[in-house]
Structure formats: structure tokens, C-alpha cells
Structure 1
Amino acid sequence: MACFTFVKFMMVLFNLLILLVGLTLLGGGIWVSVDGGSFLQVLAPFSTHDMQSVKVGFFCIAIGGVLVLLCVVGCCGAHNESKCLLLLFFSIILIIFIAEVAAGAVALTYSSVAEGILKAWATPVLKNQYGSNLVVTKIWNNTMTELNCCGFTNYTDFTDSYYSEQSEGSYPPSCCQLDTAPCSQQQALLNAVQGCFEQLLEALQKNANIIGGIVVGIGGLEVASMVLSMYLYCYLDNNVS
């Protein structure tokens, strides 16, 4: 009985952690939806302003809502000793865990597909909005300066772009590693500055241990939650029988 009580306590504790994450995502999603402009600086520069403020906000709200609901199901199942709720909690966690594993496998196996999707978003933004949209321009300038990169792929992302047309064929200073413009196409070619996608990959590889630790931690929390919920379910099932 003491073991059962301890497992119930741990189940509630784990669900409080899930609730904390869910409320954080809900708060962030509402912030982005209501005041997306002030949130842009912490978002990746791979989408337009509207996509960031609307889609990211709704996505965070949706995920946060699911986590809060999941916490309610888990806590109620443990506190009320409801086999139905415990089984529902286990099933939801299992589906999420399988989806995460599948997504990770796809990302590792088809990284070129992910690059193609990001490129399809980033290239039109660079060609059409860099230099005309102040928000997009500022985000990309900060990104290229911090990562010492040029465009998404390389300087060719700015060829025949709005910025190039308005600046008489020149490219952003980052493409020539200059502090000031102009940066000609010939200079950009000779400097051969890496694209931001390659720099991001290098940054991810340098921090692979940290990222891996976070992923393992989340996976471990999910597995532990499933084990606890299934233990409670089996205990109740045996007592009823």
C-alpha cells in the first residue's frame, strides 16, 4: 500500500511538471498572438511576420492546451484511482512518444528534405522582403552578423532580389564580411561566406550534447509517466479482480 501511495505522489508530481510546461507554452502562445511584434526577436528568421505571429502563436496555444488537459487527466486518474483515466493518460503519452521518435528518425534520415522545406520558406523572403520589410531585414541582419553567414544557402539568395535591385546590384555587407556597403557580386563570390543554414548546423553539432540531454530528459519523463500510470492501472485492476 505504501508503494502505491508513493507512486500516486510521483504521478501527481510528474503531471505538475507537465502542467508547468503547458502553462508556459500557453502564455507564450497568447503573447505571440496578441503582441507578435515584440516576440519576433526570439524567433527564427525562416518565415514572414504574419506566419510567425499567427501560426507560431496558435501552435504554442494548441500544444500548451493539450499538455494542460493531459495533466488534468493524469492527476484526476491518480487521485480518483480511475482506471479509465489512467489508461487514457497512458495512451496519449504513448502516442506522443511514438510521434517524437518517428519525427526524430525522419529528421535524421531526411535532413535534406528539411533543408529543402526551410529553403522554400527562406529564399522568397530574402528575395522579396529583405530591404523592404524592416522587421525581416533586422532579423536577417542580426542572424547574419551573429553567425557570420550570408543568406540561407549563400550570397546567391540575394541575386535579382529587391535589395540588389534597390542597391544597384550590391549585396548585404555580411556576404563580403564588410562593416559597410557596398558588397559587389564579385567580392561575394571571392569571400564565399557560408549560408546561415550551414552555420546553424555547425552550431547544433557543437551543442549536440546539450540538445541530446534535453531530448533524453523529455523522453525519460514520458517513459516514467507511462510506467507509473500503468503500475497504478494494474494495481487497481488486480484489486478490483
Structure 2
Amino acid sequence: MKTQNFLKFKAALITCDLVCMIIGFAVLVVGCWTNVHFRLTSNILSAKPISFEDATYCLIATGTLTIIIGLWGMCGVYRDNKMLITLYAGGLVMMVILGMATIVLTFRFRGNFAMNYKTVAQASLQYRYYTKAHTAATVTNAWDNLQIKDNCCGFTNGSDYTGSVFFNSTGRPWPTSCCVLTASGHVKNHTVCTAQVINKGATNAHKGCGSFIEDQVYLYVVAVGTSAIVLAILQLLSISLSCVIMCTMDNTWIHL
């Protein structure tokens, strides 16, 4: 009976370890995807939210190390090696701590973003869009791509450009990326679009991009936070099973 229980615990740990490795790979992919795509949003904001960037790196590290430690644990369970299983459990404890750090950084960023992102985004339009600085070209391209892709203009609407570097340099109320485009990608009516009066048939200046930015960022936050939480729960289960196995080992069936 004792041996049968031990084998059941081993099977449970192997299964949990395999699931952790699969989830770890998924977490690695999510971390890489979020890190790359969030840079586009940080370009729009003309800022680099360090806490969230660190969270994506923590997630990538967690996913990678989970796969490596999982292979270590599989070897230990297969060989009934108490030392390897102990090291495996210790590695998982460190992974859980790293996962908690990821969760804290992610939700800390979410709170800061909710309070400050409107001010930061409008400031990037006012002072970074269309300027001659080398890094400003990235901001300009990011805003233009967003405005064309989502058929929007500015953060709240086209009035965000009033008094901006772009407005003072060109005299136009908003850039052509705020104009309605034809199927071939050309401006439908340039004269009407760049007039001071908003014409909904020629410009998207009546609709801001703020909601699109917010939705994108919250998607990244949910992806990172959920991945870290799910992986941490599975790792805690694996730690518990490892401890049970180590406590039930004796010289009857263990060969170190």
C-alpha cells in the first residue's frame, strides 16, 4: 500500500510537472509577445513604463527557468533521487517568488497607468509629435500608425493637436493620418480633412484614440498577470507533491 501511494504521488508530480512545463512555454511566448507589442504602445506614450517592462522580462525568465527546472524534476522523479527532487522543489520556490514579483509589477503598473496615461499621451502629442529630435520620429510613426489603423485622431479627439509642435509648424489642425482614407490608402479629401471645421466624411478628428490605447494596455496587463498567477498555482501544487514524496521516501524503494 505504501509503495502504491508513493507511485501515485510520483505519477501526480510527473503530470503536474509536464503541465507546468507546457504552461511555462506558453508563459515564455506570452512574455515575448507582450514585450514586443508593448514597445509600440510605449512609443505612442513617448515613455517607457519600467515596472511593466520589468514584469515582461520576469515572465520570460519564469517561463524559461520553469522548463529547465521541470526537466530537472522529471529526472529526479524518474530516478527516485531525493537530492534532485529537493533541488527541484527549491527551484520552484524561487520561481514562485519571481512570479509574485511579476504580478506585483504588473498591477502596480496598471494603477499608475490608469492615473497618468492620459496626461502622458497628450504630452507626447503636444511636444514629441513632428519634432526634429531623432527619437521623436518613432513617436510620430507610432501615432500615425495607430490613427490610420483605428480610424481615430489624437487622444481625446483632433483638438489635442491645438498648440502642439505640429500645429505651430504646419498651421494644420491635425495630421493627414487623421484623414479618412480611400481603399487604396490615399487621403479621401485633403482640403476638407485639414480644414478647421470637422467633417466626419473626410476626417476622423471627432474620435480619439484613447480607448484603443487603454484596451491594448489592459490586454497586455491581463495576459501577463493571468499567466503569472496560473503558473504560480501549478508550481505551488508541484512543491506540495515534491514535499509529500520526499517525506514518504525510505530505503525500501529509494536508491540515491
Given the alignment of the two structures, is residue 231 of structure 1 paired with residue 241 of structure 2, yes or no?
A: yes
Contact 1:126 1:161 in 2 (8 A): yes
Alignment of 1:1-241 (within 5 A): 1-21=6-26, 24=29, 43-44=40-41, 45-48=43-46, 51=48, 60-61=56-57, 63-80=59-76, 81=82, 82-90=85-93, 92-93=95-96, 96-97=99-100, 100=103, 103-104=106-107, 107=110, 110=111, 113-132=112-131, 133-173=136-176, 175=178, 179=187, 180=190, 183-187=194-198, 193-201=206-214, 219-239=229-249
Detail structure 1 runs of 4+ shifted over 6 Å in the superposition. 25-29, 39-42, 54-59, 188-192, 202-205, 211-215
**Do 2:27 and 2:228's aligned partners in 1 also have CA atoms closer than 8 Å?**
no
3-state SS in 2 of match to 1:10:
helix
Distance 1:185 1:230, change over 3 A: farther
Q: Which amino acid in 1 is paired with 2:248?
A: N
Distance change (3 Å), C-alpha of 1:120 and 1:99: same
- Counterpart of 1:187 in structure 2: which amino acid? I
Root-mean-square deviation over aligned CA pairs:
4.7
Structure with higher RCO (Cα < 8 A, 6+ apart): 2
In the TM superposition, what whole-angstrom CA distance separates every residue of 1:13-48 from its partner, at most 9, and x where no partner exists?
A: 23432553466478779xx9xxxxxx7897224344
Return the alpha-carbon distance in structure 1 between the equivalents of residues 107 and 250 of structure 2.
Answer: 40
Deviation at 1:89, TM superposition (A): 0.8
Question: Which one-letter code corresponds to 1:124 in the other structure?
Answer: A
Answer whether contact 2:30 2:224 (CA < 8 A) is retained.
no
2:156 aligned counterpart, secondary structure: coil
Change in CA separation of 1:98 and 1:65 when aligned onto 2, cut-off 3 Å: closer
User: Relative to structure 1, is the Cα distance of residues 40 and 87 closer, same or farther in structure 2, using a 3 angstrom cutoff?
Assistant: closer
Kindly provide the CA deviation profile for residues 156-207 of structure 1, in whole angstroms up to 9, marking residues without a partner as x: 32121111112114212455757325534443899862321224456899xx
Q: CA deviation at 1:3?
A: 1.9
Percent identity over paired residues: 17
- Determine if contact 1:22/1:65 at 8 Å carries over to the other structure: no
**Which whole-Å CA distance do the structure 1 matches of 2:204 and 2:56 have between them?**
40
For normalisation by structure 1, the TM-score amounts to 0.64
Q: Report the TM-score when normalising by structure 2.
A: 0.61
Give the distance between the partners of 2:139 and 2:96, measured in 1 at CA.
38
Tell me which structure has the larger Cα radius of gyration: 2
Cα distance per residue 1:34-71 (max 9 Å; x no partner): xxxxx7897224344x959x999887555423432343
Matched position secondary structure for 2:130: coil
Q: Deviations over 1:99-156 (max 9, x none)?
A: 638955984xx5xx52343234322322233224443323212211222222123323
Report how far residue 223 of structure 1 moved.
Answer: 1.8
Shift in Å at residue 226 of structure 1?
1.8
